[in-house]
Structure 1
Amino acid sequence: MFLYKLEIKLTGMNVCLIVLADSDEAAFGYAEGHLVRHFIKKPEVLETVIVEKKRVEKGSGYVIETGEF
């Protein structure tokens, strides 16, 4: 199992998604499912890229940088 950090470019915005999957293909499939459940109307996906991929072990995680508060 791997922990994936995906960056997804949608029409009008970018989103970051962290997903647990067995393979790259599964991670992309799960990403689509999460987008459908998260947004009221399914967004148009322009691009999805894997930014990081880590083997799952105790303490695995990511730091997500955002703009200023």
Structure 2
Amino acid sequence: MYLYKLEVQLSNREVVVIVMGDSDLEVMNEVEMHISKHYVEAPEIKEIVLVEKRRANKGSAYVIEK
């Protein structure tokens, strides 16, 4: 399993999503599902960029700056 850090460009903002998965394709499908669940009205996704991929081990983490 891997932790994926993705930047998702929506029609009106950019968000960062962290997803755990086995493959790049699986994670891309999962991120779309999570974005649509997070908002009351599903936003238009313009672009999804894979920023980083790490093996999911105990203690794995990302630091996200604002």
- State the TM-score, normalizing by the size of structure 1: 0.93
Q: What is the CA–CA distance in structure 1 between the aligned matches of 2:26 and 2:53, rounded to whole Å? A: 13
The structure with the larger Rg is: 1
Shift of 1:6: 0.4
Which residue is 1:23 aligned to? Answer: 23
Q: Which amino acid aligns with 1:60?
A: S
| 3-state SS in 2 of match to 1:51 | strand
Q: Which residue of 1 aligns with 2:50?
A: 50
Given the two structures, how large is their TM-score scaled by the length of structure 2?
Answer: 0.97
Moved >4 Å (runs of 4+): none
Q: Secondary structure at the match of 1:26?
A: helix
Q: How many pairs does the alignment contain?
A: 66
Structure 1 runs not aligned, ≥5 long: none
Q: Percent identity?
A: 47
- Is there any run of 5+ residues in structure 2 with no aligned partner, and where? none
